[in-house]
Amino acid sequence: MDLRQLAVVVAVAEEGGFTAAAHRLRTVQSTVSTVVRALERDLGTPLFHRTTHRVVLTPAGEAFVPAARAALEAAERARAAVSPVGGLVRVGVRPGLFADLHRVLATLRQTHPGLVVEVRQVGAGSVRDAVTGSTVDVALTVADGCVAPVAVDGPALDLVTTPLPADELVLATAPGGSRSAPADLSELSLVDFPPGWAIREAVDHAHPRRRVTLEVDDLAVAAGLVRAGLAACLLPASVAARFPDLTVRRFAQPPPWQLAVVHPACLSPGLAAVLAQLG
């Protein structure tokens, strides 16, 4: 039994499914399933009841998960004790960009209690200016074309663009129905997000001729409209996984959703800790 196995089991329990846990851990569903099965064999008892759409903890799982969570927290405290990180890191985020930011912040608070993280919104055209101008220390954005590391503005202000794990855009629809998305979306009613949102920018590029009938500035509101059958919505697969009751329909040629972090080439300990959690 190792910490990675514990983390996978806790993720499955908290997310309510193997696919959602895989998105959270930035891996694939088959890896999550393999890790859980190996641990169940080691323990000699199942931790989850598997159903078609959701997994539920067994009595053994109910007893195991709190202990696993405590072990992970103890390991993080031990790591922080030998390498304390403090200071302030200001994170800039494009609107509607990162559905798991709350998890990143919660983990950082737990792992590095002396580190203060502030979050601010940055506009699409001001990501690099925000970092070079010291408005923020690091910025989350959508990768633009090539996401290989790029240095700009001379040695004192070198910036690096680091890609995060790749994702794809999917079509979220009301529960039930096909798992395949049509190539032509012109006949569908769609809910979309305001101009300036990173998701809107990516969808505009992938499907410029779609018909937008509803526009909202909240992911949960968009999911509610989809759930009610009023419209479909193009979302990153990692975001759609937050709403497991919706039907996720994948494209034959999936539009990419690639996030990146823009940060100085020279990292402070606090900034390095933030980047480690983001990646």
Separation CA 160–CA 47 (nearest Å): 42
Could you tell me the domains of the chain?
Answer: 3-81 (1.10.10.10), 85-165+259-278 (3.40.190.10), 167-257 (3.40.190.290)
Contact assessment for residue 94 and residue 141, using Cβ atoms and an 8 Å cutoff: yes
Q: What angle do CA 97, 98, 104 make, to 5 degrees?
A: 155
- Give the model's confidence band at 276: pLDDT under 50 very low, under 70 low, under 90 confident, else very high: confident
pLDDT tens for 216-275 read: 999 999 999 999 999 999 999 888 988 989 999 999 998 888 888 888 888 888 888 898
CA distance 239 to 243: 8
pLDDT in tens, 18-74: 888 888 887 888 899 999 999 999 999 999 998 766 788 999 999 999 999 889 888
**Cβ contacts of 45 within 8 Å, gap of 6 or more:** 58, 60
Measured in degrees and rounded to the nearest 5, phi and psi for residue 233 equal -150, 135
Query: Considering the entire predicted model, what is its pTM?
Result: 0.65
CA geometry: angle at 28 spanning 223 and 160, to 5°? Answer: 85
